[in-house]
Structure 1
Amino acid sequence: MKTIIFLLLVSVFAFPLKAQESTGILYGKIFDHSTNQPIPFASVLLVGTGKGIQSDIDGIFRITNLPPQSYQLKVSAIGYNPEIKTDVTVNTAKPTEIDFALKESVLELEGVTITSDYFMKNPFETNSVTSFSYEEIRRAPGGFEDVVRALSVLPGVAQADAGRNDLIVRGGAPSENLYLIDGIPVPNINHFGTQGATGGPLSFINLDFVKETTFSTGGFPVLYGDKLSSVLEINLREGRKDKIGGKATISASQFGLNLEGPLSNSSTFLFSARRSYLDFIFKAAGFGFVPEYYDVLSKYNVAIDTKSSLSFLFVSAFDNVKYFNDTEDQRYDNSTILGSDQIQYATALQYKRLFNNGFYTLSLSRNFVDYNTSQRDSLLNPIFLNKSREGENILKFDLIYKTSKLTELNFGAEAKLIKFKADIYFPPFKTTFGETLPINSVVVNKLYDKYAAYLNYNQMFLQRFTANVGARLDYFDAVTTNYYVSPRFSLSYMLSPLTNINFSAGIFHQFPSYIWLSGDPIN
């Protein structure tokens, strides 16, 4: 009864408390893809409506009095390739934000007419890259509004288990995928994750706050390292700028609250908190165990001036499995389950500065994961106990400099200070002959250092070729061979504006997960 009353309250809260406007607002920013500089006086057209506007001196546009529906939005500017975005949904609840990162036009042949395309490709990208907007992820078949699960339908991507986000990319392993949120590395973005891997049953990133994602598979450049299979970049949007608003949400497994809005004329915030209600369902169904989880996401942005900005990010997840061992059957069933209690969070402070031909970012972040896994027999004696804590403090710098219209230089470096603590207990093992074999438990308390630096150069030539060459240095003081150099090269030839032939080669390395460092050195 309490659950029913709660759901009714959520339903009432989800309805507006006053009459909404009958029209919506569409706004956004247009900027250079490489330098992030704003593009003034760009043309913005709502395809098929005859409505349009120009961006202002800061690249900002705003269209009002739009009937709520989906639109196609075309943006063009002198010296840039036009771009069309589809499924731009305008509603009356809040203004819709859509940004455009235009690519400079590189074809200057006389008599050639460049037309806008729905699937524009970055001319400096020579590897397999797929981008998804919020709307594409939301409507992905079988994606369940999950930023990770939506990727499982892509070529070369499979799931190790249908019920988990353990992605196997091009024959790799679930531990070989890199996750970045606004450029900040995060070890895992899934609830009930497996230690040392990157999967879990479902993602804890709130899709309502996702601007777009970029997924790179195979042959990714030297900007990314210490992973072998893929890179998933998740870019979060900023909070709405007109007023503070929010909504209550409910899905097949969780309910929550979203809030966003301005804190001043130059700052905005995002905040969401969600909780599962699977524990109510499992308990009512008579299960002997109950999984429950919570997650929180918060982002704060402030524009210091027209060239620089500061952002703060916080994401966290709390996972717990409760057992009911009242009956013998429950104790027996629970003895086959590896319980998992986890706390994980990532927090970051990031400074971004634009200059004439590029931009740089400087970030200070921390990742922390507290694993508590256990398994007990039907008499509640421990079979396996593991309490591990992994903490990473990261200082990261990235620079993009466009030396000319056809060349781009990328440089970056990062330093990680890592603290790993593990207390793993194995009880003595009794053989079928009655002999007791002692098994040593593991106690680890270590500090590690990781460093990395990269240099990447992109060059377009003969108007159809793009070459990408770079090298990366990775260092980890916990292993015998503690540094690796990873040269990488890729080449792309444009047969037509819609067809490219790509080639890439390189050396990729990945250091072992921290939990594996606690094993026997002989292994």
Structure 2
Amino acid sequence: MKKIFLIILSLLGLTSFAQTGVVKGKIIDKQSEKPISGAVIMLIGNDENQTTSDEEGNFKLSGIPLGRQSISISLTGYESTSVSDLDITTGKDNLLTIPLTEQFNTLDEIVVTAGSNKAKAINKMAIVSTKQFSPEEVTRFSGGRSDVARLVSNFAGVSTGDDSRNDIVVRGNSPSGMLWRIEGMPVPNPNHFATLGTTGGPVSALNPNLLANSDFMTSAFPAEYGNAIAGVFDLGFRKGNPDEYEYMISAGAYPGLEFMAEGPLGKKGGSFVASARYGFVGVTGLAGTDAQPNYSDVSFNVDFGKSKIGNFSIFGIYGTSDIDFLGKDIDKEDPFAAQDEDGYVTSLFGSVGLKHNLAIGSNSSLKTILGYSNSGNTYKNDRYYDFGTPDENKLRFSDVDNTENRFTFSTLFNSKLSKKTTIRAGLLFENYTLNANVKDRDRQDDADGDGYADLVQIVDLDGNYNIVQPFAQGQFRLTEKLTFNAGIHGQYFSINEQFVFEPRTALTYAFNSSNSVNFGYGLHHQSVAAPILFLNEFVNGNPVQTNKNLDLVQSQHYVLGYDVRFSKKWRGKVEVYYQDISKAGVESFPGSYSTLTEGANFGYSIDKTSLVSKGKGHNQGIEFTVEKFFSEGYYTLFTTSLFESKYKGSDGIERNSPFNNGYVVNLLGGKEFKIGKAKKNVFSIDTKFTTAGGRYYTPVDLQASNDAGYEIRDDANAFGKQYDSYLRLDVKFGIKFNSKKKKRFHQFYIDLQNITNHTNIFTMEYNRLTNSINQKDQIGFSPDFGYKFQF
């Protein structure tokens, strides 16, 4: 401790020299997305420090004092805006893309809007149930593990209850209902240790240091989004610094060791940014398991600059992971493995896209993306029968090998017809090639009479299919206070040859500058997850895929919201919603099963065949948000969700879904303190408190399990019991040092997660070795830590 104290004092002494930072970027028209020249960018508090945007919308504002600073942007004929509390450091320039909205009436006085208004979406067509977030929030909030998926668990409408995975449960929907997009391109599950059909995992492969401000949507999405019924993660990669080279080295318990570089590329205003990470959480003992996880990922975004035929860029991400669960090395309380088995897990994920932006006239543009994605996972499981006895026998119990390849073509035409009307139209085409092989002994017969359940091929697929999604939508500023969005989305699924049309609409009315009301409706469809769709059922001894013609699951979203700005930096919001779901897969005979209950684990059911599209469900609730945007050195976020999630199987009985927590409460806050002789360094404290109702689960039928020798759940009482409430308190301490030398910046943090060491239940499961029901708990107190050096 004495050595650490001396190091900190010496760093404080090195950083007393006054330095300044830089803010630069581009000003664009929000409707047409074209660059705006002549906009005045000014440092708030120093009217003399200002600049104007050039013909390409680019600007550079230098000589900005270190610490939290704000800038204003104004131009005749446009609504003025500001970007508040930028974190100015010596280690890196701040790069921004700032949209301006043309005034409804050019005779009106220009009104400066409060802050950057992060309550509004980046996508101008999304005006309900959407939250814009920044990369800084991903790394700022306590308990987040630098994971963008864990960040949104703080937002209203998103529930959590499992520290081992980052599954996103939106308004009681299964995580499998999520859509992930990067730079406008749909991508497979972007998490390490991911499996086919899932959308979450233990560790994110998305690097927040490469992300730009992005949108997260929870209901009634605009018409350009499809094949999802729960939520949309619309992520953007930022561009690299177009003027000079910058580098970063960092280390964190969960993200691992990282190196990042960025800088100019060519003579046409191009740039690049790229990073590589290697995880070492297993070395720290914070993985939540005795096994050693290995994972790494790379990400990049290369912008080739403006040319006569438009702007080209290429972006990509690739991640790989593996872990071996060896029974002899596993503690009996390990939540992921058992002592009488060995498991070998691998997964990979990769996406690359070539994007082309072409300006058409003065107010229109065409964006086209060609993309390729690949994902795969394997799972080999060896079971030790008669474990611990002289007759112990090792047999392959499960063998999974899945590979999905996806080719994507998308095009989007955007045109600003006038200051009051903007239209968008486009097409998304996806071609999937799926090679899936699953063998398992679980719940199988002993047809060969060797005394063991047979290893049966339950999935055997080598084929391809297409999803085609055309769309058109428009935004109409009917009056200065009333904005109306409307569109239609189409979806064709080649497996069952089903084509559907989906109307989408949203309306917002501003009573004044501080109060507004909005309404949204959307019809959405999604294909049943591939692991269920392509299951084999043996009919007369022959494997038949009896689920492949299931209909697209249908969901209707209704949402009504009210926004209020209490003051310049305070915002409140309330939303009520109802979601009606139909055409889910259920059993052809009376039963409690529904495909709506799948998607929150590493795998899917392997015995649900001959399903029919007659399942129903509904989600309803009310959400409250009170937020103080970061200003004056502190922020606060309070969100509460009260909701109900129900479903019906083929027996017609209404049951709780496994995601029916009932309530979620989040309270976050943080404060920064200027330290050092010149007050250019920062000490910060952030905290987060979360509590939620426990998830519902199907209890184990102990007698039946003892008789069978494997776990059997009481399906007649499906999701009839509830785990204890989830509760967690995190506290994070950080410190930032601005070096007296240019382009030197250090940041340290330690995040004390679950500091009360509260026992949250992971699962209740059958122990075949002791013939009993065991409770396995989630991770208790767990310190996270990190260091970043920018230069």
Fold match by TM threshold 0.5: yes
* Structure 1 residues 288 and 67: CA distance shift in structure 2, 3 A: closer
Aligned residues: 502
Q: Does 1:263 align with 2:265?
A: yes
Q: Does 1:187 align with 2:221?
A: no
Q: Select which of 23, 34, 37 maps to 2:34.
A: 37
Q: Does 1:381 align with 2:386?
A: no
Q: Select which of 361, 368, 382 maps to 1:362.
A: 368
Partner AA of 1:168 in structure 2: V
Partner AA of 2:44 in structure 1: V
Between the aligned partners of 1:334 and 1:272, the Cα distance in structure 2 is: 38
Q: Does 1:161 align with 2:136?
A: no
| CA deviation after TM superposition for structure 1 residue 438, in Å | 4.4
Q: CA offsets, 1:159-193, max 9 Å, x none?
A: 25233210111111111111111111112122122
| CA deviation after TM superposition for structure 1 residue 372, in Å | 0.5
* Cα contact 1:68–1:92 (8 A) shared by 2: yes
* Cα contact 2:265–2:304 (8 A) shared by 1: no
* Cα contact 1:35–1:354 (8 A) shared by 2: no
Partner AA of 2:466 in structure 1: D
* Structure 1 residues 380 and 278: CA distance shift in structure 2, 3 A: farther
Q: Select which of 387, 398, 413 maps to 2:427.
A: 413
* Cα contact 2:77–2:106 (8 A) shared by 1: no
Alignment of 1:248-327 (within 5 A): 248-253=249-254, 254-266=256-268, 267-282=270-285, 288-305=290-307, 308-324=310-326
| CA deviation after TM superposition for structure 1 residue 286, in Å | 12
Residue 474 of structure 1 is matched in structure 2 by 491
| CA deviation after TM superposition for structure 1 residue 474, in Å | 0.7
Partner AA of 2:410 in structure 1: K
* Cα contact 2:397–2:455 (8 A) shared by 1: no
Residue 466 of structure 2 is matched in structure 1 by 449
Which deviates further from its counterpart, 385-394 or 462-471?
A: 462-471
* Structure 1 residues 88 and 48: CA distance shift in structure 2, 3 A: same
Between the aligned partners of 1:21 and 1:348, the Cα distance in structure 2 is: 43
* Cα contact 2:32–2:422 (8 A) shared by 1: no
In structure 2, the residue corresponding to 1:145 is in which secondary structure? Answer: coil
Q: Does 1:489 align with 2:505?
A: yes
Which deviates further from its counterpart, 508-517 or 216-225?
A: 508-517
* Cα contact 2:223–2:489 (8 A) shared by 1: yes
Q: Does 1:346 align with 2:351?
A: yes
Which deviates further from its counterpart, 273-282 or 324-333?
A: 324-333
Between the aligned partners of 1:490 and 1:338, the Cα distance in structure 2 is: 49
Between the aligned partners of 1:349 and 1:380, the Cα distance in structure 2 is: 48
Q: CA offsets, 1:78-98, max 9 Å, x none?
A: 122111112212222232212
* Structure 1 residues 347 and 503: CA distance shift in structure 2, 3 A: same
Query: Which has the greater radius of gyration?
Result: 2
Between the aligned partners of 2:244 and 2:196, the Cα distance in structure 1 is: 41
Stretches of structure 1 that go unaligned for 5 or more consecutive residues are 1-19
Between the aligned partners of 2:129 and 2:76, the Cα distance in structure 1 is: 29
Residue 67 of structure 1 is matched in structure 2 by 65
When the two chains are superposed, the root-mean-square deviation of aligned CA atoms in Å is: 2.8
* Cα contact 2:19–2:65 (8 A) shared by 1: yes
* Cα contact 1:469–1:490 (8 A) shared by 2: yes
| CA deviation after TM superposition for structure 1 residue 21, in Å | 9.3
Residue 149 of structure 1 is matched in structure 2 by 150
* Structure 1 residues 329 and 109: CA distance shift in structure 2, 3 A: closer
In structure 1, the residue corresponding to 2:137 is in which secondary structure? Answer: helix
* Structure 1 residues 336 and 468: CA distance shift in structure 2, 3 A: farther
Partner AA of 2:501 in structure 1: V
Residue 130 of structure 1 is matched in structure 2 by 131
Partner AA of 1:390 in structure 2: E
Between the aligned partners of 2:141 and 2:99, the Cα distance in structure 1 is: 23
| CA deviation after TM superposition for structure 1 residue 324, in Å | 4.3
Between the aligned partners of 2:489 and 2:97, the Cα distance in structure 1 is: 32
| CA deviation after TM superposition for structure 1 residue 240, in Å | 1.3
Which deviates further from its counterpart, 245-254 or 294-303?
A: 245-254
| CA deviation after TM superposition for structure 1 residue 407, in Å | 1.0
* Structure 1 residues 258 and 113: CA distance shift in structure 2, 3 A: closer
Q: CA offsets, 1:113-162, max 9 Å, x none?
A: 62322254477543222111222333234323222211111111112523
* Cα contact 2:250–2:259 (8 A) shared by 1: yes
In structure 1, the residue corresponding to 2:242 is in which secondary structure? Answer: coil
TM-score normalised over the length of structure 2: 0.60
Between the aligned partners of 2:145 and 2:237, the Cα distance in structure 1 is: 19
In structure 1, the residue corresponding to 2:317 is in which secondary structure? Answer: strand
Between the aligned partners of 1:82 and 1:89, the Cα distance in structure 2 is: 21
TM-score normalised over the length of structure 1: 0.89
Q: CA offsets, 1:54-108, max 9 Å, x none?
A: 2222221112233322211111111221111122122222322122111222256
| CA deviation after TM superposition for structure 1 residue 517, in Å | 2.3
* Structure 1 residues 462 and 65: CA distance shift in structure 2, 3 A: closer
Alignment of 1:235-246 (within 5 A): 235-246=236-247
In structure 2, the residue corresponding to 1:304 is in which secondary structure? Answer: strand
| CA deviation after TM superposition for structure 1 residue 343, in Å | 1.1
In structure 1, the residue corresponding to 2:212 is in which secondary structure? Answer: strand
* Structure 1 residues 37 and 113: CA distance shift in structure 2, 3 A: closer
* Cα contact 2:207–2:299 (8 A) shared by 1: yes
| CA deviation after TM superposition for structure 1 residue 354, in Å | 2.0
Residue 460 of structure 1 is matched in structure 2 by 477
In structure 2, the residue corresponding to 1:135 is in which secondary structure? Answer: helix
Q: CA offsets, 1:458-504, max 9 Å, x none?
A: 2121322222221111111112x522111122222112223221112
In structure 1, the residue corresponding to 2:348 is in which secondary structure? Answer: strand
Q: Does 1:118 align with 2:119?
A: no
Q: Does 1:46 align with 2:43?
A: yes
| CA deviation after TM superposition for structure 1 residue 325, in Å | 5.5
In structure 2, the residue corresponding to 1:211 is in which secondary structure? Answer: coil
Partner AA of 1:116 in structure 2: T
* Cα contact 1:27–1:97 (8 A) shared by 2: yes
* Cα contact 2:196–2:530 (8 A) shared by 1: no
Q: CA offsets, 1:310-343, max 9 Å, x none?
A: 1111101101002445669799835468643101
| CA deviation after TM superposition for structure 1 residue 287, in Å | 6.5
Between the aligned partners of 1:233 and 1:54, the Cα distance in structure 2 is: 31
In structure 1, the residue corresponding to 2:146 is in which secondary structure? Answer: coil
Between the aligned partners of 2:207 and 2:330, the Cα distance in structure 1 is: 40
* Cα contact 1:106–1:463 (8 A) shared by 2: yes
* Structure 1 residues 511 and 108: CA distance shift in structure 2, 3 A: same
Partner AA of 1:137 in structure 2: V
* Cα contact 1:21–1:92 (8 A) shared by 2: no
Partner AA of 1:44 in structure 2: I
Between the aligned partners of 2:342 and 2:509, the Cα distance in structure 1 is: 52
| CA deviation after TM superposition for structure 1 residue 345, in Å | 0.2
Residue 26 of structure 1 is matched in structure 2 by 23
Partner AA of 1:242 in structure 2: D
In structure 2, the residue corresponding to 1:496 is in which secondary structure? Answer: coil
* Structure 1 residues 59 and 329: CA distance shift in structure 2, 3 A: closer
* Structure 1 residues 115 and 370: CA distance shift in structure 2, 3 A: same
| CA deviation after TM superposition for structure 1 residue 346, in Å | 0.3
In structure 1, the residue corresponding to 2:487 is in which secondary structure? Answer: strand
Between the aligned partners of 1:411 and 1:420, the Cα distance in structure 2 is: 29
| CA deviation after TM superposition for structure 1 residue 420, in Å | 0.4
Between the aligned partners of 1:33 and 1:450, the Cα distance in structure 2 is: 30
Residue 80 of structure 2 is matched in structure 1 by 82
Between the aligned partners of 2:477 and 2:414, the Cα distance in structure 1 is: 16
